[in-house]
Structure 1
Amino acid sequence: MKNGDRESIDVHVHILAVAAANGARVCAKMRRSLMSLSLGVKYGWRGDDEVFDRAYAERLAREIRESKTTDRAVVLAFDGVYDSSGALDPARTSAYIPNEYCLKLCERHPEFIFGASVNPARADALDELDRVAANGAALIKWVANSQDINPAEPSFIPFYRKMAELKLPLLSHTGYEHCVKTLNHAYGDPKLLRVALDEGVTVIAAHAGTSGIGHPIEYFDDYLAMLDEYPNLWGDLGAVTGITRFKYIPAMLAREGFTGRCLQATDYPAPPIPALFVRALGVRRSLGLSFGGNIFDKDVELKRALGFPDDILYNAAELLPEASLRPRPSQQF
């Protein structure tokens, strides 16, 4: 452990994959986007998709390994959009990174913890939950806005009950989605997660119920009220040190008990931006944090400087299924 006898876990780290050989799909528009092009330059894409996938995973593992603050990270698969028959709908799927590929990376890199993604609209959703749980999944990740998942859909209740039975937390995006093509922004409303919470699922609201820039509807007060109502509701702090959600930090720190229900998250590869906090930290300290090379360390040190307690680093080790945190034997689907 890098921080004494407690393990520091980042619960929100994205695996990027584009190679068909790895089962991945990325729509043409997303490939052409500036974000994709910049990531391609950073991680070595030169027209060979498999080289990019491998370079990205290896660089991510190295960055966690070299971090002074983060022991391991939950790396996230990304399920697709499904039609009314429960079949994958390629035309509406902007990105797809299968559980099998994510699991394979977790077998290869001990820095990774398996974060599965299962769309409850898929025909084999309950069986897939069993499969990922048997393979040590730490949680199920959704970006409901982009995966066309209405979390309040009554037909998903058996799915939630299965999650509760398997003790699999749900990490669900809340607020505006800024990166992946969105099918329905309304599905980022944290109030829609009440159905899962009522069925006993431990829900982690990604981005802690914040709407983010660009969204005309504000959800944060609703999320704060839900924290008082549901002891099984948590939030992650992904991207709060970036441009889209930094404005919420003063309210987070002012709310009594808020950080006790928070988990450390970067939303990697989204970078923290210390320059946003010049007023709070001063020019010298902001510049000093800006020049750190490791995203995980930069994010943690920035949160510390702003006043977040170190407990946020260790809450995930208490919340995630114990089996998902054990050293991983060789397993296959």
Structure 2
Amino acid sequence: MQRRYFLGLLGGLAGLSAYSFKAYWPDDNSFFNDCLDSMPDELANHEVVLSAFEGLDTSQIWDGHVHLLGLGDSDSGIWINPQSLSILSINHYIRFRFFLNASCPLPNMSVDEGYVARLKSLHWGRGSRFILLAFDHSYNEQGEPLPDKSAFYVPNRYAAQVHKQSPDTFEWLASIHPYRKDCVEALEEAFLNGARGVKWLPPAMGMNPASPLCDRFYKAMVSWDIPLLCHCGDEHAVSGTNTQTYGNPLALRRALDQGVKVVIAHCGSLGSNRDTDKGPNGAHVSNFELFARLMDEERYNKLLFADISALTQNNRIGPILDTVITRSDWHPRLLYASDYPLPGVMPLTSLSLLHEKQYITAEQLEVLAQLRQYNSLLFDFVLKRLIQVRGQGFATSIFQTRSLWTGAKA
């Protein structure tokens, strides 16, 4: 691993609590990704790895949740909230340094360029694509930007540029805050520049999907048949506005009822929110239960989808992961996604715990542990192809995601 990132990460570890160390202590006592390259042929062609590709057309595999990050040390236009760059804001600093380490930006170039170059080197599967996510500023209800409450900013034009430079590797989703005065115009521009959809992170970006302020944006999305990838559930990776109540899956009824095609990230799997179906003072219910309620409503069968990114992380192992795997009736509407660079954040996913809970075998654990050091994206894909609950795994159809993002699946 590059020395500059290791020193930065090491400097931030003092801020972790004893509980955090215990809960997220990595399998091999290594908190950091070694960022190895040149994967040995023996590993790439191991039967455990090859078995993950059986029955799949790799040209149909589009990873729908790949973050585009950097430091803004090029002409990308990327902006990082100063808190994430200051050791004085220890929690923000540690998180961002872990993300940088997990992404393993290549040396001898800007971090922006190194991030993309590393991503290109991780490309696997003939015809497969990574869908890059732009990230807008936070805004208030008057349509004014809130830089102090924005976690970071990745311009749509930069995501479009990276796609155009490597169209056989990357697609992209725009990020447009619906409170912006020019939100509809920005959506049209993104659509004409090849955006495959829009990404929102309400708990960090400060948009309430249930607000009437979103209606004109929803109308435009429907008219152009543009899907919305929306984070639901609590958000812990970035802070921003810290509006966790906006992560309520039920808030997306407003979009769904207007005909917007919605993909709920992570199956809305963390935290709890009020059951607003029972009124504004409804009891607090787990976000995953609220997500499940929406999935089970027949009227949303052709509009509501969900991605399986982050579901193999430690904080989702157990009932949440088991339910998503065993609810085979959901599988036609589930989409493979990685949430890169998080698969490379070593403490977040414990292969030992997955083995202990009998999701994977000992042989699979050994191969996956090696694979993760070389290619965290391939690691995430193979893990999700192999994982099982009582002999049942994720259906093959979950990994054939291209048709949704190109508009063929409705």
Shorter-chain TM band: 0.7 to 0.9
Aligned partners of 1:321 and 1:85: how far apart in 2? 34
Tell me, yes or no, if structure 1 residue 309 matches structure 2 residue 395.
Answer: yes
Which 10-residue stretch deviates more, 284-293 or 197-206? 284-293
Aligned partners of 2:351 and 2:58: how far apart in 1? 29
Q: Give the structure 2 partner of residue 330 of structure 1.
A: none
Q: Give the structure 1 partner of residue 403 of structure 2.
A: 318
Give the C-alpha shift of residue 313 in structure 1.
1.0
Bigger-Rg structure (1/2): 2
Aligned partners of 1:189 and 1:39: how far apart in 2? 26
One of 238, 246, 250 as aligned partner of 2:317: 246
- Trace 1:4-153 onto structure 2 (pairs within 5 A): 4=57, 6-19=59-72, 21-32=75-86, 33-41=93-101, 43-44=104-105, 51-64=110-123, 67-68=124-125, 71-110=128-167, 111-153=169-211
DSSP-derived class of the 2:131 partner: strand
- Trace 1:180-329 onto structure 2 (pairs within 5 A): 180-182=238-240, 183-211=242-270, 218-229=286-297, 230-231=300-301, 232-247=303-318, 248-271=320-343, 273-279=350-356, 280=358, 281-292=360-371, 293-306=374-387, 307-314=393-400, 316-322=401-407
For structure 2, list consecutive stretches of 5 or more residues without a partner in the other structure: 1-52, 87-92, 273-283, 344-348, 388-392
- Partner deviation per Cα, 1:6-54 (whole Å, 9 max, x = no partner): 51111000000221632221112222412322444563588x9x70010
Give the C-alpha shift of residue 73 in structure 1.
1.2
DSSP-derived class of the 1:22 partner: coil
Letter of the 1:312 counterpart: I
TM-score normalised over the length of structure 2: 0.72
Q: Give the structure 2 partner of residue 329 of structure 1.
A: none
Aligned partners of 1:117 and 1:44: how far apart in 2? 23
Aligned partners of 2:178 and 2:243: how far apart in 1? 16
The CA RMSD over aligned residues, in Å, is 2.3
CA contact (8 A) 1:242 1:270 kept: no
Aligned partners of 2:377 and 2:403: how far apart in 1? 20
Give the C-alpha shift of residue 210 in structure 1.
0.9
TM-score normalised over the length of structure 1: 0.88
Letter of the 1:270 counterpart: L
CA contact (8 A) 1:168 1:321 kept: no
Aligned partners of 1:233 and 1:160: how far apart in 2? 14
DSSP-derived class of the 2:173 partner: strand
For structure 1, list consecutive stretches of 5 or more residues without a partner in the other structure: 324-333
Give the C-alpha shift of residue 86 in structure 1.
1.6
Give the C-alpha shift of residue 106 in structure 1.
0.7
Q: Percent identity?
A: 30
CA separation of 1:304 and 1:84: change in aligned 2, threshold 3 A: closer
DSSP-derived class of the 2:203 partner: helix
CA contact (8 A) 1:74 1:113 kept: yes
Letter of the 1:309 counterpart: A
CA separation of 1:6 and 1:57: change in aligned 2, threshold 3 A: closer
Letter of the 1:195 counterpart: R
What is the count of residue pairs matched by the alignment?
A: 315
Which 10-residue stretch deviates more, 158-167 or 296-305? 296-305
Aligned partners of 2:141 and 2:381: how far apart in 1? 42
CA separation of 1:93 and 1:224: change in aligned 2, threshold 3 A: same
CA separation of 1:77 and 1:167: change in aligned 2, threshold 3 A: same
Give the C-alpha shift of residue 56 in structure 1.
0.3
Aligned partners of 2:229 and 2:136: how far apart in 1? 13
CA separation of 1:212 and 1:265: change in aligned 2, threshold 3 A: farther
CA separation of 1:278 and 1:80: change in aligned 2, threshold 3 A: same
Give the C-alpha shift of residue 209 in structure 1.
1.9
Letter of the 1:259 counterpart: H
CA separation of 1:84 and 1:250: change in aligned 2, threshold 3 A: closer
Give the C-alpha shift of residue 298 in structure 1.
1.4
Q: Give the structure 2 partner of residue 331 of structure 1.
A: none
DSSP-derived class of the 2:286 partner: coil
Aligned partners of 1:6 and 1:34: how far apart in 2? 37
